[in-house]
Structure 1
């Protein structure tokens, strides 16, 4: 067993005390082939129940015992034939070979045990797949929310965009598919922000007398004041007619 499988075995032994260790070793080896880190192994072991583990070990032990018994019977039969031991109803050695007997003369095969492990661990594999998918979905949603926060999208518009994302989050085939969706959404957000900005500008009325200068006076008012000042000065300079 490698280091990860040994850690898994330790977890199984600690959690399922009293269960046959050889069965737990087989379960640890099988789980070790499905996970990539100790963290994932902990999560898988946490989801296992005593009933599932006992059922796995019982089925594995029954299959293993049957394979061992078959090998021993074949080995004993080989000895009888080799040393001319005979019993009643012993099959004729010249008859066709039994197709059900191992071709290697009694070596234990693990085919049946491997099939049992595959069938019993299907639920474990499904749990790992679901766990990984949930991690990816959560990470993508956090990134999407960060983009909304960055663009200061709030209110009903934010709720609507989050609902649409949650529906789409289960359909992304891979990271490229998700990034393509995120790029499109960023374009939509930019377009909405521009529309809001344009709408805000249209809501402001133009000054009646034109644009204002640095003193806050419109050009029309400034011209009017200049004209009145000039008119007043002309009247002051004009003397009384003789």
Structure 2
């Protein structure tokens, strides 16, 4: 029997958590509820979920703090995180994405929108299998071993940034618009904002360190990866 995708709901409002859980169960998911960071960590230690629905405002540690914590842990860094919040300002969205959230959904939201976003992050979690290595100058990416090195030194690159870097290196010297990158790297981008690309490019540059200038911003057009970087640019 096929295993149902498990969704960890981290939400301190029982009524909201129960409503989400009922809808998930009716649509082929296995919900697990945790009311705060401590109980959520207990659930994560027991079984890794397929997706985490994480409320921004929680007792104790905030959702943003928890997202950062789980992204920095090797065991949980690959689990997609959907941030649930009543905060709709762009600065708040960027803060959530910067903390490591894969997507962002503002309350109140419809059941269909929530289900669509969950399915989208699950699709993006299962990219096409690649086992090639790409080298641009002294930057080397090996998709088979999931390693990135620059000048022979290993770099720590997150899962989304790894996919973004792999695509840019496979298509180096070409300019890619944000919508093209969303389409090629994220897959289904119906609910993903173009600003998400900027956040991940910024994060990728930081992870690349000295090689960060190889990812260039082309004003009004998008981004490209080049083996002959000019001066450092910002997203």
TM-score (norm 1): 0.25
Bigger share in helix: 1
More strand by share: 2
When normalised by structure 2's length, the TM-score is 0.25
